[in-house]
Structure 1
Amino acid sequence: MSDRSSLSSSSSVEEETHSFENAPPIQLEADTTTDQQRRRGSLLRRLSTGLSIPSSLDSDQTRTYRVRRQPTNYSFAGISTGVEAEGEAGLHDYYFGTDAIQKSVTRKTTSDAEKLEEFPQKFEGQYASDPGADNTELSSQLPATPIARRRSTVVQKIQSISQRFGFWDKEFHNDRVKMIMAFLSNYIYLVIGFILPLCIYWGSYYERASRYKDLKFLVVLAEEEVAGIPPIISGVVEYFFTNVTAIQALGDFRVMNFTQITTLSQSHNLTIQEEVYRQIHHQKYWTAFYVKENATFNYYSALKSANTTFNPSVSLMQAIYETGSNFNAVNNYIVSIVNNIIQGYLTYLPKTALLGDLLQALDEDEIASVASTAPNLLTSLVTFEIIDLIPVTNQIFTGILSIALIYIVLFTFFQYLFSVSIHTYIATKISGGGYIAFRMLVSQISYLFLALAFVVLNTAFQISPSKTFGKSGFLVIWAWIYLLMSSLGSFIEALGLIMVIYKPQLIGFVLLFVAVINVAPVVSPIVLCPPFYRYGYAMPVHAAYDLMHVAYFNSWKGRVGLDIGIMIAWMIISNIALPFVMRWMGEKIAKRKEEAAAAAAAAAATEDTAEDLTKIETNTETSVRSTTERVETNSKLDNDSVLASYNPDNRE
């Protein structure tokens, strides 16, 4: 009887093993490693295996299988996603969740799937409800208890995620709290990422009107007394700029008299007018209000001779600036401030005795002659003629010197995104310094092509690059734009790698932040911004902004060397720092992989221990049941033999 039970048990094991080997594997791969290469099981596993599994299952002809884990592992427990992406599809899944979207929108729930999603119910049959009933017949009809085997992790995963909970169910409480905390964390990052760049950009406009007084203007009074005629016009202009309160709030006005401007012009071997123009071209002042030499005497002479061709509105004074020296600042601020000053002067002039003092120097016949012959000399106001030394009429420069600068910042990182697959492949072929050098070289070549595209695009819109440097202008602008991209590209890439380690979602904020801190001091003159924005003088975009004025408008070249030096310094420092950032990133990732592997090993050990204990309990239970059955069977046989040998007729 014992042999028959053992044979039945062995047959059952072989049938189950046969069915397991013939079952179609789902996401399984053959394990062709030798016994020596396999990880040795724990002591409990080996003991339980030796007790319950025949040695025939361990033969070389028997092939075991292991689950191949998916490359993407979504874990909500830590509110993070661990990804080991492979190829372009892996990147798409990592950045945009394409795999989860595809599964969600294409999954169809069938009736069988709905049954699998239900929780297993406790058995409550007729035999279970009657604890005192004799279940011997039922036990003989039920199949033998199967040998416990390790369940596929794929099946466990499917069953674990197939159990549906309502959002407000008690069992979902912990996950619900984690989700809420994750959303709150996301909102904090989003709000900070939204506010910080706007604060920097809007902060450059904070109380701007109160800083108009920091704009430097030059007032040149280049006349002196001639033939007994005092410089009346210079006196009126000087009083206007030094004593009218409303005008004082619009700028810082430095007044130069005839002696001062003459000395300065002679030091440069220039005329007074040329010296005034030089001061503006060299960007010493935003605007010069220039009273020409002998202005009062020339006006007196025109009145005395009743000169009909003389126009006091354009012949005596000038307001001089250069749009090409700072396109954004002059168009947005200087022009309007100058117009306000001139308008204020025209309002102030009728209240003065300028014309009356000049008429006192004429006799009645001369006054009558002027009134009848040249009345415009009496009706026209003595005001400033506006002179733009470098006018810019093509409004395309509005985009080139503002939006294009932002695009240049962004595309320095976009070139890296387009090269990720190449870098990933090369990383498998080259290691160490060779890979870093290759990656940096690819970036520099990309910057050359992008800079070339920028210059070609401008030329296509009929913006000549040859105004300052002739035929070489194209190459000069190309080189300067390349320096700008190279100075920013490696810096942004280094910041991006750091963000990948700590929080990849912040890469977009890094791009926006770098763009804003570079552009904020460019769209507005730094002198009108709070003191914090003085950093703009050392930023690559501000340097390139100045160089574009030199190349396209032939503005002052005095800062060309400084601007190029700023961009080269950024390029050298960022490119030197990039390899160290790459090395630091590699060490961080390697450390994280080691920690993940250690955690996985610990989890596997815990799972193996639990399985070993389960197997021991199952084997013990089976052995106890088998022993009990044998004892009961033997006891019944003994009773039958006793009853069979008992004969009431043979009593003594």
Structure 2
Amino acid sequence: MARLLWKDPFWDGKRKPYVIALVGAASMLILLFLANISYLYGALYRSGTRVNALNILAVDYDHGVIGESLTAAYSNLQGEGFPTLQFRSPLEYATIGDVRNAVCKGDYWAAIVVQEDASTRLANALSGGTPAMEYNASNTITYVYNGARYATIQDGFITANMQALISATARAYNSINGTKAASVVNTADQNAVLALLNPIMASSINITPTGQGTRALYNTVTIILPIIQQFFFVMALNGISIQFGIYGRLHNTHAGLIRMVLSVGYTFIASLTVIGYIWAFRENWQASGNQFALSWMVVWLYMHVNFLVLDTATAFIPMPHMPFFVLTWAIINITSTTFPFELNPGFYRWGYALPAHSVFTILIQIWSEGCNNQLKSSLPVLFGWEIVGGALAVLGSYKRNKVAQREFEEEKRVNSSNGKPILERSLGGSQD
């Protein structure tokens, strides 16, 4: 217990180095977390002021007072906190199917259309009779969106703003045409009065309905856990390989082949568990077996890329510094998927080169049955990491084996000089 006292002779010559080492390690860890969390928070900082970077297709098939009301409503809402409406001619998008395809392709985050003859149907309904009885306020303005493309963004910035826009359109209609409509409405017809009081309502087309609560985790926890999982496996593989004397006693080719087979097999099974828990908790999300298989293959590639990256890192980075690399690698990858780049500061667009962003983009395409197709950029990124990571992992395996061989030869030399026999144990040590 006396050695707990700072003035005890035990601490002679250790006080200053101990304090310096402890303060240095603590400072480096604080700076590490500060830098990484600042990077993550910076991606979301003032994202509400960049909502206007989300482009919405707008097509007016009506060319009447309802279309005019939509334009007026958007003029009042337009700003940095509201998506930008790109008005296009019906000649360019002749049908609602063309509008849906534009959203599906990813050209726009959503679309809003004024239905053909919407103003005429409303005017006829105000006169009463059968037109009033058949009038459907939700058959005036429709918005289209893809619920599988960044579900939280769709909920928070797309559908909420589209509903706000349609509500504002109804108010604009009352301001523009309310007096005239009130003067011609058939007050004796209840349906005509209802049409006057509630002329415009929202209707929507969701290309890929995803109502399950777990969808909020697809671009966050589901992205980062495979990185952590591969790091644990690499550490276990390295420890077991050292314990059983794999390195230094096998040829470089044999040691490398063992790691390759183990990495492919492990990531194959581990990726199945990832897709397994996504499917197990999908609730009423209608996903097919083909989508399951394709998702599995994509996550398998993503996991193997991370294995190669972390395997290379453990070969060249000293073990005390590995937490710095692993945390940074995890944070920059999850930052590239948390929010779309349209809502991030421009600097963060370098995240297009990260495997996490590419794999999530491909998963969106799979889950929305081909929508948001960015394979021409995403697949080259993933395979680029696979090729470069594979080459570096081979060099790392070669380095490990060479270092272990030198240590083994040195051990043999020392034991020979001491006149001791060399007993190679399968558990990687010497046995007296």
Same fold by TM-score, threshold 0.5 exceeded?
A: yes
The alpha carbon displacement at 1:576 in A equals: 0.8
Of 245, 259, 279, the match for 1:439:
259
Distance 2:330 2:173 in 1: 47
The alpha carbon displacement at 1:247 in A equals: 4.8
Does the residue aligned with 1:320 lie in a helix, a strand or coil? Answer: strand
Q: Deviations over 1:384-422 (max 9, x none)?
A: 323323211222333344312211111112222232344
Distance 2:401 2:24 in 1: 27
Of 19, 25, 38, the match for 1:199:
38
Of 145, 154, 160, the match for 1:321:
145
After superposition, the CA RMSD in angstroms is 3.2
Does the residue aligned with 1:289 lie in a helix, a strand or coil? Answer: strand
The alpha carbon displacement at 1:379 in A equals: 0.9
Using CA pairs under 8 Å that are at least 6 residues apart, name the structure with larger relative contact order, 1 or 2.
Answer: 2
Does the residue aligned with 2:72 lie in a helix, a strand or coil? Answer: helix
* Alignment match, 1:238: 71
1:312 and 1:380 in contact (8 A); partners too = no
Aligned residues: 408
* Alignment match, 1:275: 98
The alpha carbon displacement at 1:170 in A equals: 8.0
Distance 1:210 1:342 in 2: 21
Does the residue aligned with 1:254 lie in a helix, a strand or coil? Answer: strand
The alpha carbon displacement at 1:512 in A equals: 2.0
Of 93, 109, 121, the match for 1:286:
109
Distance 2:207 2:62 in 1: 23
1:279 and 1:285 in contact (8 A); partners too = yes
2:128 and 2:189 in contact (8 A); partners too = no
Question: Within the alignment, does 1:488 sit opposite 2:306 as a pair?
Answer: yes
2:122 and 2:199 in contact (8 A); partners too = no
Structure 2 alignment gaps of length 5 or more? 415-432
2:70 and 2:172 in contact (8 A); partners too = no
The residue identity in structure 2 corresponding to 1:436 is G
Question: Within the alignment, does 1:528 sit opposite 2:343 as a pair?
Answer: yes
The residue identity in structure 2 corresponding to 1:233 is I
Does the residue aligned with 2:296 lie in a helix, a strand or coil? Answer: helix
Change (3 A) 1:190 1:462: closer
Change (3 A) 1:429 1:462: same
2:49 and 2:80 in contact (8 A); partners too = no
Distance 1:450 1:373 in 2: 60
1:543 and 1:566 in contact (8 A); partners too = yes
* Alignment match, 1:475: 293
Change (3 A) 1:421 1:164: closer
The residue identity in structure 1 corresponding to 2:365 is V
* Alignment match, 1:395: 213
1:233 and 1:354 in contact (8 A); partners too = no
The alpha carbon displacement at 1:484 in A equals: 0.6
The residue identity in structure 2 corresponding to 1:204 is A
* Alignment match, 1:613: none
1:289 and 1:384 in contact (8 A); partners too = no
Please report the TM-score for the alignment, with normalisation by the length of structure 1.
Answer: 0.57
Of 209, 213, 222, the match for 2:61:
222
1:320 and 1:387 in contact (8 A); partners too = yes
Percent identical pairs in the alignment equals 16
Distance 2:406 2:323 in 1: 26
Does the residue aligned with 2:13 lie in a helix, a strand or coil? Answer: helix
The residue correspondences of 1:35-434 to structure 2 (distance < 5 A) are 166-168=5-7, 172=11, 174-224=13-63, 231-241=64-74, 243-244=75-76, 247=79, 249-256=81-88, 260-262=89-91, 264-265=92-93, 271-306=94-129, 307-311=131-135, 313-350=137-174, 352-358=175-181, 362=184, 367-368=185-186, 374-424=192-242, 425-434=245-254
Structure 1 alignment gaps of length 5 or more? 1-108, 110-162, 225-230, 266-270, 601-652
2:248 and 2:402 in contact (8 A); partners too = no
The residue identity in structure 1 corresponding to 2:252 is G
Distance 1:387 1:463 in 2: 20
Distance 1:527 1:458 in 2: 27
The alpha carbon displacement at 1:381 in A equals: 3.7
Distance 2:176 2:279 in 1: 55
1:193 and 1:509 in contact (8 A); partners too = yes
Does the residue aligned with 1:261 lie in a helix, a strand or coil? Answer: coil
Q: Deviations over 1:445-478 (max 9, x none)?
A: 21111112223334444669983xx544443222
The alpha carbon displacement at 1:339 in A equals: 3.6
The alpha carbon displacement at 1:314 in A equals: 0.5
The alpha carbon displacement at 1:494 in A equals: 1.5
The residue identity in structure 2 corresponding to 1:486 is H
2:137 and 2:198 in contact (8 A); partners too = yes
The residue identity in structure 2 corresponding to 1:283 is G
Distance 1:377 1:464 in 2: 35
CA radius of gyration, larger in: 1
The residue identity in structure 2 corresponding to 1:516 is I
Change (3 A) 1:309 1:488: farther
Distance 1:554 1:321 in 2: 14
